[in-house]
Structure 1
C-alpha cells in the first residue's frame, strides 16, 4: 500500500487523515511511562507529529520524519500550537534509511506508530524498511511497532502477527515481545463508508485491534 507523497499530502491539506486524532496514541504513552523509550528517538511516519511533540515536551531528543511535506508542515504548526516549538521534523523517506541513514544519524529508540502496516503484504518493501531500521538503530536499541491487526475487520491496512514476526527473523534482530493492543483512529469522510460497513461508529474516535511489538537490534 505504498503511495507517492502527493497521496499523503491530500489528507493533511484537507485534514481528513483518519490517524490524526489530536493526541498521542495511548499505547505509545504507556510505553514511555513504562520506561521503554530511551536515548535518541526517531518517530518515522510522524504524521501530525503527536509523538514527537509529546516526547520533546518530556525532554527527549526526538526527530519526527515523514515522506509527506504536507505532514511535516502540519506537524510543525501542531507543535507551535501546542507550545512545543522546539519539536523537530524533517521530510524523509523511511524506505531510504538504509541508503541515507548517515544523514539522520543513529537512534536508541524507534517509535513506529501506524507506518509498518502501510507496507502490508509487500514483502520487498517491508524488507527494505527493516534493513533501514537496522542501519539507523544503535546496537542494543529498540524498535517499537504499533500496527493495525487483522484480528478484526475495519478500515485501514491490517496485518497479521506473522508478518511482524517474519519481518524480524533475520540476523541482527531479537523479537522481545509481540502482544495485542489498541490503536485509536478518527472516522473521517475518507473512511466513513468503510466504518459503516464494518459496524463501527461513522464519526469521532474509535479504538481498533492492533499489535504492539518490541524488537531489539543486536
Structure 2
C-alpha cells in the first residue's frame, strides 16, 4: 500500500524527506531547455515545489499539487523564500480524483511527474487509478513526463523496472514515445540512511540515483 498522508506530512514537518535537494531535478530542467514543456502544466506530487517554482519563474502557467498539506505548506514557504510569489499550489489527492464526480483542476497540455509514479510500486489499484487521473487531466495530444527511480542499480526509495511504466500505459488512449535511462538526485537523511549505506554524496550532499525518464502522449 502507498503511504498514509500522515507519513508524508512527517517527512516535511521533520525535514527528513530524501527527495528535497533545494533545486529542480536536472532531468526536468533538461526537458524545459529542450522545449518539451508547453501550455498549461501540472506538477503532481510537487513536494517542496521546486519544479513549480522554477517553471513559474520562467513564465509558464503551472500548478503544483500534493496529497500532503505539509508539502503544500513547505512549497509555499519555499516559493516565498525564492521570491516567486505567484507560484500556485493546492492539496489534491491524485488517486481519488480518478473517480471524483468533478474535476476541479481542469485539463493540461503537459504533466511533469517527478518521483510520484514510483510510489505506487506495490499498490496496483492506486497506480491504475493514478493513470486514469492522468488521462482525465490531459488534453488530447498532451504529454506526461515521468521521472522515476530505477531498479537497475542499488539505491533508496521505491525503485521500479521499465516494464511497470510500459504496462501502466499499455491501454488505449496512451502512446509511450520514449522511455530511457536517466538520473535522479536525492539526499541521505535519517529516513533512508540504512537503504543509502554505501552511496557517496557529492560535494553538495546530493546522491545520484539511476532513474527512468518517460514521455507519454495521450492519444484519445
* TM-score normalized by the length of structure 2: 0.95
Give the 5 Å matches for 1:51-200: 51-100=51-100, 102-196=103-197, 199-200=198-199
Q: Distance in 2 between matches of 1:127 and 1:25?
A: 25
Q: Distance in 2 between matches of 1:136 and 1:44?
A: 11
RMSD of aligned alpha carbons: 1.2
Partner of 1:211: 212
Q: Distance in 2 between matches of 1:97 and 1:110?
A: 15
Contact 2:2 2:122 in 1 (8 A): no
Give, in angstroms, the shift of residue 189 of structure 1. Answer: 1.4
Segments ≥4 residues shifted beyond 3 Å: none
Contact 1:97 1:136 in 2 (8 A): no
Contact 2:175 2:217 in 1 (8 A): yes
SS of residue in 2 equivalent to 1:42: strand
Partner of 2:36: 36
Give, in angstroms, the shift of residue 102 of structure 1. Answer: 1.7
Contact 2:56 2:84 in 1 (8 A): yes
Give, in angstroms, the shift of residue 121 of structure 1. Answer: 3.3
- Structure 1 unaligned segments of length 5 or more: list them: none
Give per-residue Cα distances to partners, 1:146-204, cap 9 Å, x unaligned.
Answer: 000000121100000000000001000000000000000011111112211xx202792
Contact 1:142 1:217 in 2 (8 A): yes
- Structure 2 unaligned segments of length 5 or more: list them: none
Q: When you count helix as a share of all residues, which structure comes out higher?
A: 1
Give the 5 Å matches for 1:17-32: 17-32=17-32
Q: Distance in 2 between matches of 1:194 and 1:102?
A: 38
* TM-score normalized by the length of structure 1: 0.96
Q: Distance in 1 between matches of 2:168 and 2:93?
A: 19
- Corresponding pairs, count: 216
Give, in angstroms, the shift of residue 117 of structure 1. Answer: 0.2
Q: Distance in 1 between matches of 2:201 and 2:150?
A: 20
Give, in angstroms, the shift of residue 19 of structure 1. Answer: 0.2
Give per-residue Cα distances to partners, 1:103-155, cap 9 Å, x unaligned.
Answer: 00000000000000000032221111000100011000000000000001211
Q: Distance in 1 between matches of 2:213 and 2:156?
A: 18
Q: Distance in 2 between matches of 1:125 and 1:80?
A: 33
